[in-house]
Amino acid sequence: MELNEAILKRRSIRKYSKDPVPREAVDRILQAAYLAPSGANASPWLYVVVSDGDVKRRIREASEAVDGSWNSEQPDWFRSWLAAQGITREKAFLEDAPYLLVVFSDTRIPYALESTWISIGFAALAATQEGLGTLTYTPGDPSFLTEILGVPSQYTPQAILPLGYADEAPDSALRAKRPRSRDTAYDR
């Protein structure tokens, strides 16, 4: 699959089949993520691969708890926006997906946040290229991930990327993007 095809085809997937995913596909996704550019070539990210059902359950339970608290603190307009997007407190995808890639950034390194999110973008496109679904899920307060996964404290959790075969086909019309125009990009 060419890069442009992967960019056009990528969708956020929240429903996964139980079909097993070859570990080799996960390794290729990780390789793509680790090849991403980073500030000063520091590669400040850490990916933790989770496939254990009990650990995925603990992550789901903690995610739903923190999202419930976090969402209740948000303004009405934001909660309405979440509801319109179909984004709820329930995070079944955290258990249903065969794998979770939990992504952290090393906060001691300059440009860690920006660099880690570029790496996450590479991982999402690589998942699409592998024929897998994913999304970038960011719990309201992801600090519980450090404890559950036993990650050193210098790493800050950024996102969870579930990986699996899609058990849904999101409507591409719902992914309407603003076309490139003088309002969104400028030529000088």
pLDDT tens string 3-26 = 878 877 888 889 999 999 999 999
- Helix, strand or coil for residue 41? helix
**How does pLDDT run across 74-93, given as a tens digit for each residue?**
899 988 888 888 888 899 99
Q: Strands 45-50 and 99-106: what pairing?
A: antiparallel
Residue/partner pairs of 66-72 with CB below 8 Å, 24 or more apart = 66/139, 66/140, 66/141, 66/142, 66/144, 67/91, 67/139, 67/140, 69/140, 69/141, 70/139, 70/140, 70/141, 71/140
pLDDT for the residue numbered 172: 61
- Helix, strand or coil for residue 82? helix
Structural domains in the chain, CATH included, are: 3-168 (3.40.109.10)
Cα gap 168→17, rounded to integer Å: 9
pLDDT for the residue numbered 91: 94
Structure tokens at 34: 């680790």
